[in-house]
Structure 1
Amino acid sequence: MSDLIKATVKRGKVRQAVEQSLIKRRKRNRRFRMLGLAAVMLGMLFLGMMFFSIISKGYSAFVLTEIQLEIYFDAEIVDPEGARSPEALAAAAYGKLVKNALRKAFPQVKKRKEKRKLYRLVSTGAEQQLRELVQKDPGIIGTRQKLWLTADDDVDQYYKHGENQSRLKAQQLAWLAQLRARDALRTSFNTNFFSAGDSREPELAGIRGAVVGSFFVILITLGLSLPLGVAAAIYLEEFAPRNRWTDFVEININNLAAVPSIVFGLLGLAVYINFFELPRSAPLVGGLVLTLMTLPTIIIASRAALKSVPPSIREAALGMGASKMQMVFHHVLPLAMPGMLTGAIIGLAQALGETAPLLMIGMVAFIVDVPASITDPATVLPVQIYLWADSPERAFTEKTSAAIMVLLAFLVLMNLFAIWLRRKFERRWD
């Protein structure tokens, strides 16, 4: 009887110890989940702060300030010979027309120093606006037109952000107050930001040249890295014998995926520019460098997609009499292609945001013209952001943030497209 009591007491103690252990384990699990949730929330908080900072600084770059002036297209200035030749119209001093209009709007300004301050209210890009108007319609020569002209960046910052963000003098502020009272000052959508190339003047700077350069670079990267990466993955996964050589190649592919991107830039500088003497700052060289950087990612993703196809597909194809080549290209590759495309898009999204390798091959140069081919000097959007962030002009701060917003939009769209491809074409195997 005493042994039964002792056994019962012992089982009770064991049960109590197990229950206490379970309680402690559940507490530890709850603490771990809470720490994980806190880490996720903290990360989302920092991400939200980053996006808020970028958007709050960059949204104003999508609008620009304009000043309305009555421009007299004086034939003695625009076309004194009256030939209406394209060369004469292009070479005319349209800046004089803007200065004449400003002096007429503010007749009280007489001193030379005051006139210089007055002229700085309007951007130098106004001359190009007038030139384009005359070239498009020479019939306006000799007429008066009320036109909205681009304001200087200091005026733009004052109108959008107040005096704290402006370097204007008190006299210039008084002139702007008069323009506002006449309803001759307004903001409108900044089409220059999307249609113009880079410029030393912040109000004239745009991202078109950088976007076109990025398009050429990504086009070359896609055209080279996707077929090469898929072909390498198919060979290594389906045809290559398992020996020391293939093990060596696989190890190096995995190692290349972790190599800093600037190393690829140094390789491109040494091989493509110094050895092959390809043009510096060209999208062709940028695409070749990014191809080297993207290849390991695409090969690894493509091999993973091939491995995800069940062996039964291969066995069934071979059992029906298909050759190994037919089995791979008619059955395995179509089923693995969605995963391959997803990996390729993710690799291209990574390449789109790269800056360091492109700096090494000279794509950091100041490029005003929009590139027309893959051999023209060009820059890319991340490098353009880098250049603007380093500029001392205050107005470039909002341009930098706005360009980051555009780049992030491209990256988000590319990743969403990769997710859509995977969900649309993905097959689940039971």
Structure 2
Amino acid sequence: MSETTAKVRKSLARRYRQEKRFQAYGILSIGVGLLALLILFTDIIGKGHSAFFEHYIQLEISLDRDVLGVDDASDDEQLNYANFGGVIKEALRERFPGVDDRQQQRQLYALVSSGASYNLRDELKADPSLLGGTRNLWLLADDDVDLYLKTPEKKRPEARLGDQQKQWIEDLEAAGDTEKRFNASFFSHGDSREPELAGIGSAIVGSFFTMIVTLCLSFPIGVAAAIYLEEFAPRNKFTDFIEVNINNLAAVPSIIFGLLGLAIFINLFGLPRSVPLLGGLVLTLMTLPTIIITSRAAIKTVPPSVREGALALGASKMQVVLHHVLPLALPGMLTGSIIGMAQALGETAPLLLIGMVAFIVDIPGGPTDPATVLPVQIYLWADSPEQSFVAMTSAAIMVLLAFLITMNTLAVVLRKRLERRW
């Protein structure tokens, strides 16, 4: 008896050791995953946080009527053709006298962004009394200057600016003529070749219109298909064929849906490229299998007793579905739809194939206007040779991750608060 007990205890001890090792492996796996996620987030935030700020340079601007070629500051046509670049260059020459060489002058003018002329125009348009006077105004710095001012002093010698330009910037910084401000234009402007003028405003609005089209099409179609397949469709080979294909479509690579959209919506129906309407149609095709599968799973969670009780009270099959089954399954359907929309928001490959990789400057006003989306904007900036676009790419990734995390959190909250346990 004691020998048998010893064998049992030895076997139990071995099983307990195996269980502890398995738990340790699981904890280690979770730790490695969290570490990788921490490294990824640290790298993205470390590179992208600086894009949310930009530097301005203060200059004493003389808004001379003759130099500007403006007689009436309230005349929009005169302001559109005014020589704002000339007065900015004159202010730079006065701030740093003795720069006569043409090469040095080009370097001096490069301290200020090419978009400073538009800022100056807006200043004059907002306050016409500035015309003919002299005033200290803050102008947007060039992206290389902005990058230099954001760089720690130990790494500044590695900047690609010339020695003379670095000296001018340090003189401005010492005199208090540089200022760091929140980069509001990053969220309000469209794309630009100049990093200091570029923003994700067009991509955000384009993503919004694309998601609206996707939601308006995929949610009702997906829910209706799930209700039919689960509640009304007869069990035969045809419905089995449909179910198998829906499950297969959920695993199809997203680029295939892009090819499908290219073949059907563009080549067959002739829809214009790079519009949110087309992007929404393609993402609808990609999202439908996910919404149908999750909606069917939500319908299956409703107990049969609910259906049987409603039928026993004289309700029709349609009344049972609309008044009892659908309200109880709706939280699960919403959760699946939000997860599907979050997946669609982060897609790039299908949208590249339908032409949403276009260079879009203007903010789209509707689903039929040319637009791009956040993932494609990130793709474009990541391929740009300008060094400042590195920070802007990471900042755009941070914004996209914030949207995705918010949508997934909303799905979890809805599931926790609305779903019923039977």
Structure-1 residue corresponding to 2:63: 73
Alpha-carbon contact 1:90-1:135 (below 8 Å) kept? no
**Match 2:35 to one of 45, 53, 72:** 45
Normalising to structure 1: TM-score of the pair? 0.96
For 1:186, what is the secondary structure of its paired residue?
Answer: strand
83 and 193 in structure 1: CA distance in 2 versus 1, 3 angstrom threshold: closer
Residues 68, 84 of structure 2: 8 Å contact kept:
yes
Give 5+ residue unaligned stretches, structure 1. 1-10
1:267-302 Cα distance to aligned partner (Å, 9 max, x none): 001110111000111111000000000000000000
Secondary structure of 2:231's partner?
helix
Give the 3 Å change call, closer, same or farther, for CA 83–254 of structure 1 in structure 2.
Answer: closer
1:79 & 1:138 partners in 2: Cα distance?
14
Q: Tell me the SS of whatever aligns to 2:139.
A: strand
Q: After TM superposition, give the deviation of residue 246 of structure 1 in Å.
A: 0.4
- For the residues of structure 2 that align with 1:33 and 1:64, how far apart are their CA atoms? 49
* Matched position secondary structure for 2:208: helix
How many residue pairs are counted as aligned between the two chains? 419
TM-score after normalising by structure 2:
0.97
Q: Aligned-pair distance for 1:100? A: 0.9
Identity %: 61
CA distance in 2, matches of 1:37, 1:22: 22
Q: Matched residues in 1 for 2:327 and 2:69: separation?
A: 66
Of the candidates 112, 115, 121, which is equivalent to residue 125 of structure 1? 115
| Displacement after TM superposition at 1:141 (Å) | 1.0
Partner of 1:219: 212
Equivalent in the alignment of 2:87 = 97
Q: Does residue 324 of structure 1 match 2:314?
A: no
SS in 2 for 1:29: helix
Matched, 1:114 2:104: yes
Q: 2:74 & 2:194 partners in 1: Cα distance?
A: 30
Aligned-pair CA distance for 1:30: 0.4
CA offset digits 1:177-227 (Å, max 9, x no partner): 111121001211111111111110011110000000000100000000000
Superposition deviation, residue 135 in structure 1:
2.5
Whether 1:278 aligns to 2:268 is: no
1:145 matches 2:135:
yes
Q: In the alignment, is the contact (CA less than 8 A) between 2:55 and 2:140 conserved in 1?
A: yes
What is the one-letter code of the residue matched to 2:419? E
Question: Using the alignment, how far apart are the partners of 1:82 and 1:287 within structure 2?
Answer: 47
| 3-state SS of 1:66 partner | strand
The one-letter code matched in structure 1 to 2:311 is: L
Aligned partner letter, 2:331: P
CA distance in 2, matches of 1:347, 1:80: 55
Q: How big is the shift at 1:139?
A: 2.6
1:111 to partner: Cα distance: 1.6
Bigger Rg, structure 1 or 2: 1
Shift of 1:80: 4.1
Give the 5 Å matches for 1:22-421: 22-82=12-72, 84-162=74-152, 163=156, 166-421=159-414
Give the aligned CA root-mean-square deviation in angstroms.
1.1
The answer to which of 250-259 and 90-99 deviates more is 90-99
TM-superposed deviation, 1:85: 2.5
Q: Is the 8 A contact 1:129 1:149 kept in 2?
A: yes
* Deviation, structure 1 residue 134: 2.1
Q: Structure 1, residues 154-183: CA drift from partner, whole Å, max 9, x if none?
A: 111110014256211110111111111210
Task: Confirm whether residue 19 of structure 1 aligns to residue 9 of structure 2.
Answer: yes
Q: Which runs of 5+ in 2 are unaligned?
A: none
